Structure 1
Amino acid sequence: MSTEDKGPFGLTEVQYHKLKNKTIWGGISLATIVAVVAILIPPYWMLHSSLSPFSLLRKVPPQWFPMEFTFAHYESVLFSSQYPRFYINSIILSVGVLIIVTSLSTLAGYGLTRFDFRQKRNFARMILFGYMFPPILLSIPMFVIWKDIGIHNTYVGAMLAISATRLPLCIWIMWQFFQTVPYSLEESAQMSGASRFRAFYEIALPISKPGILAVATLAVQGGWNAYTVPKIILIDQTLWPITVGIESFIKSSTILWPQIMSGVTLGMIPVIFFLYLLHGNWETISV
């Protein structure tokens, strides 16, 4: 009578491999759960702090599931502060950055792909090299230049400055994407009488929609989250976006954490709405 060879822990080879696979998948599942919890705790605590009475936030240990809620902090933010003005400013800056970055990066990426000139690849790499500089390093020189030409402390100056920090990466993305668009399609359109611009507009642009959506997402994210550039470029408090204006809830004697959390929670709504609008196009991006 034959007996099967025993592996580690006195298990057969088949049993050992089954146990090994279960252990690996169990470890992956546990790591995923930990990562998800770590990601969800900050927004949960933000929402929890914005709805809890100020007295509960000082309790030690903290109450993770309070039974008392209030909207007084939201009322204070919306009706007793300049937060609505900051909100509008953030929307204006984000829309402006979206238009500037999307249009310029699309045209620049197309030009780098379709037109040949000396040192083109090195030129494209130098553009990406500009993305390595942090905003704080670029903001002060831009403030000096903007002041000399008279556009500092304006929406236009802030839009151009924020766009300058996002354009290098977005141009690189569109340059790489247009290389996947067959030029033969545009040549066929031009042989049929279409101009180069019409071939670009009706052929290359629709095919490049996934790349444009990716660039638009980066542009909105950069415009909405920008802090350093608006902080330096915009002097007038009535022009501040949410990221800068939220500092008004930091007083000399105390920090109004419930108001800060309420403002941050409200600030997430436009971003979520924007992503929802793009939701129908994510399948296109993934393809």
Structure 2
Amino acid sequence: MMEITMATNGLNWWGRAVLTADTVRSLMVVTVPETSEFATGIIHGEKAPENSMQYMVSVQDNKGRHVCGGFLITEDFVLTSAHCDDFNPAYVVLGNHNLKKADHQKIRIEKKIIHQRYANIQHGNDIMLLQLSEKVRLGHRVQTVQLPPAEINLQENQVCQVAGWGKTKPDGESVDELRVVDVSVVKPKVCDKQWPGLPANVTCAGGYKTTKGFCQGDSGGPLVCDRFAVGLVSFNYESNCNYPNKPNVYTDISKYRRWIDEVLRQNPNPELLAGQILFISCGGFLGLPLKDTQRYATLNRFPHLFMFPYHHECL
């Protein structure tokens, strides 16, 4: 019998659930100390360089407290872990590694889209998309990150990076700035052996026989390998961030590319749709010839363009 702990701890809270190879024997329990402050950091890492990892997002509640990590995949969508919804995220903050500084973009979350098969972290599918109420302003401090293709083969001991504003040690104090650490990929068979009953569609890296990895508060952050965000921080072992114990477990993003693409297609930005009454004439859209309008709309998620039939005079 083993205990799983969610990597979320924006207020020094933690969730613990019992997992066996055959069955889940208890429900998730979350404890929230009233006087705790949010924690920021990563285990045995270092301060992230300025103008690096510009896709990193702090997911925050209504009181401006960091509750999870996340990362920008389009100008209006952030990817994070499904269990972060337990902490009522309301805003995302981008554009500054130091959460105490006011020079950043803070945008309201318009919609939370959790994978339809997610029930709890024991059963996997720990992935969620956050649709923002407006587009972010991309620049030298804010950029998107590439997602992996539908199939990607990580190599054992391949060195990747994980970053976040989580604890720097289990009983540690908060820090204000984004931290990053190198972690090595753990072979799937080794991870399965260390985690009996491990959910499907996960990747393991860090922890296990090392002193590096993530901690509570880093949930939803990316595992980045060769510039691709290949994993989402999901859980570690017994709320213990002083390794070695078990490998850290991430949701394998490559297994969810079809779901992500479908969500993006079905959820065009509401601000854009409200501000643009699309009117297509024989001249096309935005100066494009009609034959190119459909391609533009597809790339920019404007399915409503096609509610207007082509006029015979345009042919």
TM-score range, shorter chain: under 0.3
More helix by share: 1
TM-score, structure 2 as length reference: 0.24
